[in-house]
Amino acid sequence: MITIQELLFNRGLDRQAKTKLVRHKDTRIDLYNAYRTNRELFLKYQQQQSKEVFTGVDYIISFIGEQGLLSRFVGVYKVLRCRQLPKTQISVIKTPYQIEYDFEEILRFDDLKERVMVKWSNAISWHQWIKNEMEVIEIHPGLHYKHFTDYSDFILDFSELKEIITNGYNDWKRMLSGVKGIYLISDTKTGKLYVGSAYGEDGIWGRWNSYVSTNGHGGNKQLKELVGKKKDYADNFQFSILMILPKTITADQAIEKERLLKNKLGTNSFGLNSN
């Protein structure tokens, strides 16, 4: 068994320092998405505390909680200082807080960030001293790998979709190829939406594979125009699933469901659908 302690000590983490393991998990905010796309928001969340949980601590080893006890390593931070604030302060999750910490990230662990998954030893205790050993469950080859949890539980940036499809991650491939469905593409630059349907033999996996192979447009007229104007425009796209359909559904039935959702979201009149 390899522990996160062994992994970090072998890379130079000070064994004598007062260090805490910290697992961030919050139903009020998508912390992994914040970490990936709005690092400042994530760091603010980590800084703002209602109690002095990191006072007297030299370093924190930061994780983002995922399904069950799985926890994703996202960095080692040195605790610099602690500030007492008025009770009127409101945090990024709209709750009062009185303590704010300043951290400095220790960059020597960059190559492990997001790749290392551990099994948290006690889900109730979100911050623990480093003496509580935690087993490394997986070290993923990809920099931004996230586990498949549920069809309604994710929004994938195009870069994440490319990694998943290109590497053929088994959990995603198994679940997405096993169903047909209606999906949504959001253009985060303009706010416009595109509704599409996947009813081929390989289900949603097969349809989304076509977006990766065409640099983001999947053969769709308006998406093709956007990608044609700027090579990396697809980096603005986010993919999610609106509705799961059984594998036995016919193409006509799937298209009818697609049409209904286009009407509900107005994507023909105000979005990226052309028909």
Which residue has better confidence, 216 or 123? Answer: 216
Domain presence at residue 150? no
Task: Find, among 233, 202, 198, 197, the residue nearest to 215 by Cα.
Answer: 233
pLDDT at residue 130 in the model? 96
CATH number at residue 173: 3.40.1440.10
Domain presence at residue 31? yes
Per the structure, how many domains does the chain have?
A: 2
- Is 119 found in the same domain as 192? no
In this structure, how many other beta carbons lie within 10 angstroms of the beta carbon of residue 46?
Answer: 21
**How many Cα atoms within 13 Å fall on the side-chain side of residue 93?**
20
- Is 135 found in the same domain as 176? no
pLDDT tens column, 209-259? 999 999 999 999 999 999 999 889 999 999 999 999 988 999 999 999 999
- Is 172 found in the same domain as 84? no
Domain presence at residue 271? no
- Is 38 found in the same domain as 89? yes
> What is the residue whose two structure tokens read 């195009």?
158
pLDDT band with cut points at 50, 70 and 90 for residue 138: confident
| Domain ranges, residue 39 | 4-139
Query: Are 42 and 33 spatial neighbours (Cβ–Cβ below 8 Å)?
Result: no
pLDDT tens column, 89-120? 888 888 888 899 999 999 989 888 988 999 99
pLDDT at residue 97 in the model? 87
- Is 20 found in the same domain as 88? yes
Query: In whole numbers, what is the pLDDT of the chain averaged over residues?
Result: 91
- Is 164 found in the same domain as 37? no
Domain presence at residue 272? no
pLDDT tens column, 2-56? 899 999 998 899 999 999 999 999 988 889 888 988 899 999 999 999 899 999 9
Domain presence at residue 83? yes
pTM: 0.58
- Is 129 found in the same domain as 42? yes
